[in-house]
Amino acid sequence: MGMHPSDFCGVSMDNKSAAREVAGSELLLSIMIGAVTVLLISTSAGPAIVKPLLLDGSLISDGRYAFVFDAHETIGEDGVVSVVGIGSSVTQYAMNGECMQNESAIEDARFYNLAMSGGKAYSEMVQIPALIDAKPDIVMVEVGPNSLWGWNGDGWESLREYHEFRFQLLSMTMDSKDMGDWYDILEPADRKLIDTASVEVLDSWSEYSRDAIEEYLRREIDGVSNSLDLGSSKFVPPVGTDEWDQYLSKPNWRDSYFDSKSPEEIRQILDEIMPSKATQGVYNPHPNGTQNHRALDYIIHELLNASIEVVLVGVPHHPWVNGYLEFGQLDGMNQTYDFYSQLEGVTPLQMYWEEWPSGAFRDRNHLDSEGREIFCKRVTPIIDAVLRGENPEDVEIDPSVFEITENNVAVVETCNGSDQLFEERNGSILLEAEDYSHCLHGTWDAENIQWVAESTKEGYNGSGYIVAAPDQKKKVGDTTDGPRVGFNISFQNPGTYHVWVRMSGPSGSSDSIHVGLNGMPVTFGANGLGIWDGDLGDVWMWKDSMGARIMIDVPTADEHQFYIWMREDGVRVDSVILTMDSEFDPEIE
């Protein structure tokens, strides 16, 4: 379709020339990409071009998915005592091979972390022939609740795309000698995903070729060498480099998610995700009969037949997780451990039931840096015993291993309260803020801030009020990192209560709080409960809304805790009224 002359109104000839140059450049780039792609498809040069971009995460979601067989080749050439860990991201985030190497009493021992996101026995069995060729002394095989859920219709559809992706990549990067009896365990549909003919393998490489060439050319144009930061959890260093050797023991991990959360926030997160997780396959392991069990049986027996020691590793999940599960829900995992523990050459190291400190976890089921330190010191002595031919059951683990040095963990400092139990009567209760039952100081950015009782600002009720001090213009937003006061309340009448707070603030940046029941704030999502009025200034006022009225739901006639958190320091709180009367207004009453 032609352009009307008016389409060029306001566009200079210089700009039109520039536009033609850009269009020409893009056309030339497209032609170049197409030509080179055709060349790659018709030759064996595809892997050499594509493989580095698979590893550095430019073409796939995580370069780790493409590193398996190169890793085994490196391990096979190391010539030292070697220990390899395989499994899911649970093991990937638990195992710091560099720490274990330093902790081990075995001279020149190397510890390799080959676990990856989503890895289960069914997908990881494909690498077993190559792993055996690498001749490790020990293989640590993850067996946790997420390792043993299976299908026979259960959860199969959610795994289909993952299996298609993994099996294609594995078949692209393995040698023909890596084929094994694992092929017979595959579902018929999955056998079709394993490319065995050279033409089929070349076709698989060619699927990535165009994107690879486009990425290479764009890097040349932009003058960059990588599309991801070298510290990205998705980035794998080039094979054969010093960084590669280090990566095989100590991969890149994402920062801890829970480290920035208070205990109440962690509980809220788990309350939101665990009810559904508890009903899904990940926390409903089968005792036997699934493809994962068949694959696990293949892995264990193949390794034992190759005279390779097997250590079954169960990594703990966050200590609060099991509270969401039914009694006996993980019996399938326990039965699997019991069964394979009877085999000679298998050492069970079931730590799932050990209650590690909350500060050891980055999220629901992955360890953070402190957790990896515990794992390192907890597991390495067991591995050393197996390597020496000693009985691992004789190893005594120092209890201090489970203590976390408070370097990167939020220290929640308590303070003294009245310990008073308040009583609700006839659907309402008045609380004087300075009479709080218990309290905590702030954490993280608010770690130096606390609630302080004062009586200097006139107009307060009772014996005084509390202020979040010092006023450093700190704001914690939608978190509970600010200092907290709590009131133990005995409720006779469960139901919905309207919340009124009498408060003041010296400015619009020092006037807001969060409130909630039993550790759960109800004022997230806006600006908390604030009081500042530019026309009135710093005066005491009652407030019951932040756009919508603030309410708490008391679930039972029992003792519950009402909380006030600082959102902005400098804010003052005088009194609180909780009432079931929706028409009540303390300014009128």
Mind listing the pLDDT tens digit of every residue in the chain (589 residues)?
A: 333 333 333 334 444 444 444 444 555 555 555 555 554 444 455 577 788 888 888 888 888 999 999 999 999 998 899 999 999 999 999 999 999 999 999 988 999 999 999 999 999 999 999 999 999 999 999 999 888 876 544 455 667 788 888 998 888 888 888 899 999 999 888 888 886 665 565 567 777 877 877 777 777 777 766 655 667 888 899 999 999 999 999 999 988 889 888 888 898 899 889 998 888 768 988 888 888 999 999 999 999 999 999 999 999 999 889 888 888 899 999 999 999 999 999 999 999 998 888 889 999 999 999 999 999 999 999 999 999 999 999 999 888 888 775 444 444 455 778 889 999 999 999 999 999 999 888 877 787 899 999 999 999 999 999 999 998 888 887 777 789 999 999 999 999 999 999 999 999 888 899 999 887 788 876 678 999 888 898 999 999 988 789 999 998 898 999 999 999 999 999 999 999 999 999 987 6
- Domains annotated for the chain, with CATH where assigned, are 41-402 (3.40.50.1110), 414-579 (2.60.120.1620)
Residue position matching structure tokens 């595959």: 186
Cα–Cα distance for residue pair 500/80, rounded to 1 Å = 69
Cβ(122)–Cβ(258) below 8 Å: no
Q: How many CB atoms lie within 10 A of CB 449?
A: 23
Comparing CA positions, the residue from 367, 401, 402 lying closest to residue 144 is: 367
Residue position matching structure tokens 């379709």: 1
Number of residues that this document lists for the chain: 589
- pTM higher than 0.85, yes or no? no
The verdict on whether omega for the bond into residue 470 sits within 30 degrees of 0, i.e. cis, is yes
Name the β-bridge partners of 313.
142, 349
Report the run of H or E that residue 432 belongs to, with start and end.
strand 428-432
CB-count burial class (<10 Å; 0-12, 13-18, 19+) for 17: exposed
Comparing CA positions, the residue from 90, 155, 143 lying closest to residue 118 is: 90
